[in-house]
Amino acid sequence: MTTRVVGVGNGGISRTVLITGVSKGIGRALALELANLGHSVIGCSRSQDNLISLQSQLPNHLFLTADIKSNTSVQDLARIVMDQRGVPDIIVNNAGTINKNNKIWEVPEEEFDIVIDTNLKGTANVLRHFIPLMITNNKKQGGGGIIVNMSSGWGRSGASLVAPYCASKWAVEGLTKSVAKELPEGMAIIALNPGVINTDMLTSCFGTSAALYQTPEAWASKAATMILNLRAADNGASLTV
């Protein structure tokens, strides 16, 4: 894919970017990076305290409490976003969780359900309520609308002890490729493997060795540029930061 630098600081236009799971980890880092580049950030998370902290850092941006596992919560989110900011140019389905390291037959039913409900059904809930808005906007503007579904290297391979997580991310890959065939011309949906990053989720798998990997902040500086440069021709692609 040819690199196209379109950030505000590089002569581009300001974008409105919605990021789920924005309260910590790569979601938070990406929000800060995009805001620093001059883009308008909308973020959601279940953690009210973390959102308050982020809002204090980015007072001119919009941060809302929402649980993407709940279809009703996402429906309310879409209504508020439309009322206050309009249709996002880019959506980053970042919210995700992982099971505690365990063989599949030792993973409790409730824990398995939370992984699937967050990583897969949560992504589907966002698509359900925001894609129609983006399609309408696409028709008005004659093109536009990018959706990034965060996948994983484990969404393209298997790993022991994290089967629920792998299953959810494989599903995200399949969901993305299928939805890509349903979108109108001018829009795009992409599955993005962020790579290996030192986050709480990685620590749950790797323990202290997670510290050997890149920080969310270092990742965000690369990821933001890549996401801003996505275009309609990338529809259905499985990419990696």
Region 1-17: mean pLDDT is 58
Answer whether residue 11 shows pLDDT above 50. Answer: no
pLDDT of 213 reads 76
Question: Which residues carry out catalysis?
Answer: 165
Does residue 1 belong to any structural domain of this protein? no
| Cβ proximity of 188 and 231 under 8 Å | yes
Whole-angstrom CA distances from 70 to 43, 66, 193 are: 16, 8, 24
CATH number, domain containing residue 58 = 3.40.50.720
In this prediction, residue 10 carries a pLDDT of: 41
Across residues 79-107, what is the average pLDDT?
Answer: 97
Domain-embedded: residue 72:
yes
Q: What is the pTM of this model?
A: 0.92
Q: According to the model, what pLDDT value does residue 109 have?
A: 98
Residues spanned by the domain of 60:
8-240
**Mean pLDDT along residues 75-90:** 98
Is 2 inside a domain boundary?
no
Decide: 51 and 123 in contact? Cβ < 8 Å.
no
Q: Say if 223 falls within a structural domain.
A: yes
In a domain, residue 111? The reply is: yes
pLDDT tens digits, 207-223: 888 787 789 999 999 99
| Domains contained in the chain, number | 1
Q: Answer whether residue 76 is part of any domain.
A: yes
